[in-house]
Amino acid sequence: MTDYAPPLKEMQFVLDHVAGLGAIASLPGYGEATPDLAAAILEEGGKFAAQVLAPLNATGDAAGVQLENGVLTTPEGFPAAYRAFVEAGWPALQFDPDHGGQGLPWLLSTAAMELWNSANLSFALCPMLTQGAAEMLALYGTEEQKRVYLPRMVSGAWTGTMNLTEPQAGTDLGEIRARAEPAGDGRFRIKGQKIFITFGEHDMAENIVHMVLARLPDGPKGVRGISLFLVPKYLPDGEGRPGERNDLRCLSAEDKLGIHAAPTCIMAFGEGEGAIGWLVGEENQGLAHMFAMMNNERLAVGLQGVAIMERAYQQAVGFARERIQGRDEATGEPGAPIIRHADVRRMLLTMRAKAEAGRALAYAAAAMLDTARRHPDEAVQREEAALVEFLTPIVKAWPTDAAVETASIGIQVHGGMGFIEETGAAQHYRDARILPIYEGTNGIQARDLVGRKVLRDGGETARSFLARLRKGEESLAPFQDPAVAAIRARLVDGIDALSEATEWLLHAGKDDPRRSMAAAAPYLSLAGTVAGAWLLGRGAAAAHQSLDSDAADRPFLEAKITTARFFAEHLLPPAIALRDTIARGSDPVLALAEDAF
Amino acid sequence: MTDYAPPLKEMQFVLDHVAGLGAIASLPGYGEATPDLAAAILEEGGKFAAQVLAPLNATGDAAGVQLENGVLTTPEGFPAAYRAFVEAGWPALQFDPDHGGQGLPWLLSTAAMELWNSANLSFALCPMLTQGAAEMLALYGTEEQKRVYLPRMVSGAWTGTMNLTEPQAGTDLGEIRARAEPAGDGRFRIKGQKIFITFGEHDMAENIVHMVLARLPDGPKGVRGISLFLVPKYLPDGEGRPGERNDLRCLSAEDKLGIHAAPTCIMAFGEGEGAIGWLVGEENQGLAHMFAMMNNERLAVGLQGVAIMERAYQQAVGFARERIQGRDEATGEPGAPIIRHADVRRMLLTMRAKAEAGRALAYAAAAMLDTARRHPDEAVQREEAALVEFLTPIVKAWPTDAAVETASIGIQVHGGMGFIEETGAAQHYRDARILPIYEGTNGIQARDLVGRKVLRDGGETARSFLARLRKGEESLAPFQDPAVAAIRARLVDGIDALSEATEWLLHAGKDDPRRSMAAAAPYLSLAGTVAGAWLLGRGAAAAHQSLDSDAADRPFLEAKITTARFFAEHLLPPAIALRDTIARGSDPVLALAEDAF
């Protein structure tokens, strides 16, 4: 099994030259995000990830979690690692200093989150969910709720969960049945069952704060009658310490394909008199509150895809360097490591290029989010906010689909050894498979992209995204370098294809919305690949500009350019052809009689 | 979990209208392969698969195999199911009646094998390997070897294995170190360790016949010094019954990602005085003998890909019909099964179309094999033999890559439930992952296709394959039906792309073989997709011709046409674009410095 080596140089490059950390650091309130601080976070975070979290990844997978009499035990080493994680202050990076946070840009916390997720996807889910719950509380909680809960959640001392799904209510949350009855004292009694609750119960922190969607007795039917409640495992006592146990428990932990070290719980609320909860935000606005936070969670899941790609890539490269088999294809010498075989190089480059494209997308989206929040010019805020909304389903879905594919290629590089669990490649293939599913399936992301982001405003945002792509392509024009020129040429083809596909959607969507929905997934795939090529092209141009001035980094910079060229010339063409899949191949999707399936 | 329903109508259709069972039945010796017999085999085999084998698939996956003191126990029900399989005579279908077989065409045994593999991939590996060993013995064994072993292996009473791989010798079998020393009595003493030996030890049959590659003391180095030996677990006594235990044992059974019910053994031969073995075929010709059989095994593995696609598709359709979530996209009614959502239809159709294309390829290749063996005209024999050799790596790799992708889509259709092991979708995703690896990785298949099948004869076979594709495309010309016309139009694009890619390979291969190797996998993917479209087009034309005469089957026939059109219009375009990946994107594969990975 290959150790995890945090790709610090690559991460720093993407922060600086693709996402534009310099511009982010110049935004009001982000002045502390200096290059030095960024380097220190990557360096120290990388050590923590590699030395503390990564060694627990395979052991945690093998051990899984144990549930006995409602007590859930995480794998050996997890509670101690989590304590160390909290003590080091890692959960607090992007939170408001008023609540104990460090007030750093999302862009930097995104880079840190990549480290945790590459090192140990199961472990990283716990802080990821906690941060989501904390953000929601920061946005919608009362002053009293914020006072009691926020500092403890921001520090990570208490963890958080999201309780949305019920057996009959997955994608369609309007079907939620959990109920909340006023207790008369301003509190509520929550009753109901929730499923798929990640870290719903565990032994890593002294309290767990559940954010629960439930219905008030007089709430309207459907999605407009759902409210959000804060339901802690232990009710805080007068001094804010965990006190009385609340009426909720984990009924069972699912036996899953992957992320074995992350408990996925069936939670029962209110088997007795009802779990005590507090309303968060406005009555019947629970879904709206949840979705305000969910966009960030979707970006975080996309980043998990990047993280798994990186880890699977490192595992595959490590094996390909060590495994001796066959002859060197260039020299004919026997006893060559398989990395010398052209087809193995092709597989490794595919993994690498997709990981780099995914990282560029995730970091760029984080930078847009920071700009949308802090830019002094409100017009820029609006523009960036619209763009990051457009990109959110793409950043969630494209890198997570790519992660499944990449983890699969990672096994293939290992040959027979990849199928043996001990090697470690198989875990990534199993773990990655959840990513296109949770926080809204990738089908839902595609529907969101086409329905809400392209069609709803008549293509306005999509066209402004295309204009930004064109600007990116034009900025490559001055480069004489044949690799950059080749990237630009393919990128132009890609933008043309995306533009035509967008116009087709706008046309087809008017005739019959189902036609555009049939095309949604290929459209997202096309958009994601073109966006990846755009940002890799930006990186290649920056690398080219540094080539002469930075002799020490020459091999790294040349690799950036070659990888971007591989992406554009090798991986982009089939995505470009999705234009034809969309235009011609959407009607057959609807043509088969339902009984004939 | 959805029960397995053998797709008898589809299988019969492909046998009759795509593979041409009628023509096969007219070949010398195959007269018994009447439509009635074919229908009876599908009917009875389907019952056995659905009722006996399929119910053991999930339980076998959960239980796995147990090894204690060298005794390997398969999951509950497996030994009894295997005895019933042997008693029903299923292993013997395609073997020579002289050895107890039924003398039926490969085409029919291929259809039967699909049933076993769909029902229970782990189980089906045992007869698959036994048949491979038996074929090899039939080709190269002495009369005495055939007399003692063949009837017992053909009946399935004794099972067989292939012992090729050693830790340092995977793809590169020239590195094999296992040794065989003459014992002086015509027998040999075998010593060495073999890995990845499927069903190397088990409790389902009274004896196991290992076919083992090893070196004679005076053999040349490398691949030319490897001989083939028959090494039974129990030495047959004078009456051919299992007698003395041989000096071999299973050291351990691997903990694998999938096919948990199929033991993957590390085998130790000759820890004591040496395992007793007999030479099969000629000295130092072991690899050649092994490869003569391996082509059939590769076709069989491709068929396993088809089988898993079918099973995963059925599982996904079953779930999509039952799972209620969201509104009907056409009518707006709430409480719709998810099969009404366009994106779910897209996923299901992708699975279905790939399964149908894979089946058409596998059955057509089996028919070519039958024709190559039995056609009275030697020129036809040669032509079909060359074509099936060309198609073998495609039939191995394309449906197995598609199986991994399809099983992954199958999970996606289930949403969160797909990630829970109990649902059953995850097993297919885990099981399928071995298929692109064993019997020669798909990278090796691509290398075989490009190196041995396209370049070696200067493109002659490839061009004759292209000519056959053109003939297929032209035969669609008379159809006025818009669906068939659309299929033809896309097929023509595909053939053009494959033709251009072939010429590029022939050109690039002359300059630098590594350039063509960098393009090998995309070339195979392009060739497989175009070949799939060709055969689905043949099926669509046949379905169209039957539409008017066969009113009862109209929904089935229309579905055949729609599925073929979906394949051509939705799935073919990205494959066609691999022409650009090949022509422009192969050089970047070779450009990255090795240290930079």
- For B59-69, write each residue's pLDDT tens digit: 999 999 999 99
B348 contacts in chain A (CB < 8 Å):
597
pLDDT digits (tens, 9 = 90+) for B363-390: 999 999 999 999 999 999 999 999 999 9
Grouping H, G, I as helix, E, B as strand and the rest as coil, residue A1 is coil
Q: Is B397 on the interface with A (CB under 8 A)?
A: no
A 485-504 → B contacts, CB under 8 A: 486, 490
Given a cut of 90, whether residue B500 has pLDDT beyond it is: yes
- Residue B292 pLDDT > 90: no
| Residue among A173, A241, A179 nearest A206 (CA) | A241
CB contact under 8 A, B592 and A562: yes
Q: Is B569 in Cβ contact with A574 (below 8 Å)? A: no
Structure tokens at A66: 């144990």
Q: Which residue is closest to A596 within chain B, CA to CA?
A: B559
Rounded CA gap, B591 and B593, in Å? 6
Put simply, whether A165 touches B (Cβ < 8 Å) is yes
- Name, in order, each residue with C-beta under 8 angstroms of A86's C-beta and a sequence gap of 6 or more: A155, A156, A157, A205
The answer to whether B585 and A570 are in contact (CB under 8 A) is yes
- d(CA B52, CA B73) in angstroms, rounded, equals 19
CA distance B148 to chain A (A): 33
Which residue, among A254, A589, A595, would best test binding to B if mutated, counting the most B CBs under 10 Å from its CB?
Answer: A589
Interface membership of A171 toward B (CB under 8 Å)? yes
Do B588 and A566 count as a contact with CB atoms less than 8 A apart? yes
Alpha-carbon A263 to chain mean position: 19
pLDDT digits 0-9 by tens, A367-389: 999 999 999 999 999 999 999 99
Give the B window 360-379 contacts with A, CB below 8 Å: none
* Residue A437 CB partners (closer than 8 Å, separation 6+): B411, B412, B415, B416, B418, B419
Using a CB–CB cutoff of 8 Å, tell me whether A68 touches chain B.
no
Q: Closest Cα of chain A to B415: distance in Å?
A: 6
Beta strands in B29-144 (DSSP E): 66-68, 71-73
Contact A443 B418 (CB under 8 A): no
Is residue A349 less than 8 Å (CB to CB) from chain B? yes
pLDDT at A350 over 90: yes
Specify whether the backbone of B15 is left (phi greater than 0), alpha (psi in -120 to 50) or beta.
alpha
CA distance B426 to chain A (A): 6
- Give Cβ neighbours of residue A167 (< 8 Å, ≥ 6 apart): A193, A195
Mean pLDDT within B24-39: 95
Residues of B catalogued as catalytic: 439
User: Rounded to an integer, what distance in angstroms lies between the CA atom of residue B579 and that of residue B533?
Assistant: 16
**Average pLDDT score over chain B:** 96
pLDDT at position A363 is 98
- Name the residue of chain B whose CA is nearest to A422's CA: B255
Interatomic CA distance for residues A41 and A371, integer angstroms: 21
pLDDT > 90? residue B145: yes
Residues 569-588 of B with CB under 8 A from A: 569-571, 573-581, 584-588
B447 in A contact zone (CB under 8 Å): yes
Q: Please count the other Cβ atoms lying within 10 Å of the Cβ belonging to residue A585.
A: 27
Whether the per-residue pLDDT at B322 is higher than 90: the answer is: yes
Secondary structure string (H, E, C) spanning B469-498: HHHHHHCCCCCCCHHHHHHHHHHHHHHHHH
- pLDDT(A552) > 90: no
Give the rounded percent of residues in chain A with a pLDDT score beyond 70. Answer: 100
Cβ atoms of A266 and A197 within 8 Å: the answer is yes
Give the pair of three-digit tokens for residue B422.
């109990």
Mutate to test the interface with A, among B529, B570, B590 (most CBs of A within 10 A): B570
Running DSSP on this structure, what letter comes out for residue B586? S
Q: How far apart are CA A307 and CA A363, in angstroms?
A: 12
Give the model's confidence band at B552: pLDDT under 50 very low, under 70 low, under 90 confident, else very high.
Answer: confident
∠ at Cα B73 (B70, B75), nearest 5°?
Answer: 155
DSSP E strands in A319-376: the ranges are: none
Q: What tens digit of pLDDT does each residue of A56-82 get?
A: 999 999 999 999 998 999 999 999 999
Q: Using a CB-CB distance cutoff of 8 angstroms, which residues of chain A are in contact with residue B592?
A: 345, 349, 559, 562-563, 566
Write down the pLDDT at residue B188: 98
CB contact under 8 A, A592 and B563: yes
What's the pLDDT at B293?
Answer: 82
Taking contacts as CB-CB distances below 8 angstroms, the residues of chain A near B330 are 514
The residues that bridge with B213 in the sheet, in sequence order, are: B228
> Looking at beta carbons, which residues of chain A come within 8 Å of B441?
412, 415
In this complex, do B565 and A591 lie within 8 Å of one another by their Cβ atoms?
yes
User: Cα B503–B506–B507 angle (5° rounding)?
Assistant: 85
Q: Summarize pLDDT for A165-217 with one digit per residue, the tens.
A: 999 999 899 999 999 999 999 999 999 999 999 999 999 999 999 999 999 99
Per-residue model confidence as pLDDT tens digits over B516-535: 999 999 999 999 999 999 99
Contact B592 A559 (CB under 8 A): yes
Per DSSP, the three-state class of B284 is coil
Query: Per mean pLDDT, which range of A460-469, A517-526, B292-301 is the poorest?
Result: B292-301
pLDDT for A372: 97
Mean pLDDT of B416-421: 98
Q: What are the residue ranges spanned by the domains of chain B?
A: 54-88+120-284, 441-586
- Please judge whether B563 and A421 are an interchain contact, meaning their C-beta atoms are less than 8 angstroms apart: no
pTM reported for the whole predicted model? 0.98
Q: Is A183 on the interface with B (CB under 8 A)?
A: no
**Tokens representing residue A234 in the block:** 């232990």
Contact criterion met (CB < 8 Å) for B437 and A419: yes
pLDDT score for A509: 79
Q: What is the DSSP letter of B593?
A: -
Long-range Cβ contacts of A66-75 (<8 Å, 24+ apart): A67/A201, A67/A250, A67/A252, A67/A253, A67/A263, A70/A201, A70/A249, A70/A250, A71/A201, A71/A203, A72/A201, A72/A202, A72/A203, A72/A250, A72/A253, A72/A263, A72/A265, A73/A203, A74/A202, A74/A203, A74/A204, A74/A261, A74/A263, A75/A261
**C-alpha angle with apex A214: A209 to A219, nearest 5 degrees?**
145
The pLDDT confidence band at residue B511, using thresholds 50, 70 and 90, is: confident
Which one is catalytic: A439, A473, A474, A569? A439
Q: At what angle do helices A578-585 and A520-546 cross, to 10 degrees?
A: 160
CATH number for the segment(s) A54-88+120-284? 2.40.110.20
- The SS3 assignment for B227 reads strand
More confident residue, A11 or A329: A11
> Which of B270, B246, B285, B291 minimizes the C-alpha distance to B179?
B270
Pick from A150-154, A185-189, B325-329, B408-412: least confident: B325-329
